[in-house]
Amino acid sequence: MKEKIINYFQDIAKEMQKVTWPTREELAESTKIVIVVTLIIALFTWVVDTALSEALKAIL
């Protein structure tokens, strides 16, 4: 059992060495994109919600 645990953590260490980590610039650019897209989706959701709410108030 102890051997399996040791092998597990050794495998994790080997896999982590294969990872290509983004540079600071790539990370900053990706973060900006995520924030902008999130804001666009939030705005779209707010517009649709407001429109549907107003339509339901007009019907009822």
Instruction: List, for residues 21-57, the tens digit of each pLDDT value.
Output: 999 999 999 999 999 999 999 999 999 999 999 999 9
Task: Please report the pLDDT score of residue 15 as a whole number.
Answer: 96
Cα 58 from chain centre: 37
The yes-or-no verdict on residue 60 having pLDDT over 90 is: no
DSSP state of 20: -
Task: Please report the pLDDT score of residue 4 as a whole number.
Answer: 94
- Rounded Cα distance, 53 and 39, in Å: 21
Instruction: List, for residues 4-13, the tens digit of each pLDDT value.
Output: 999 999 999 9
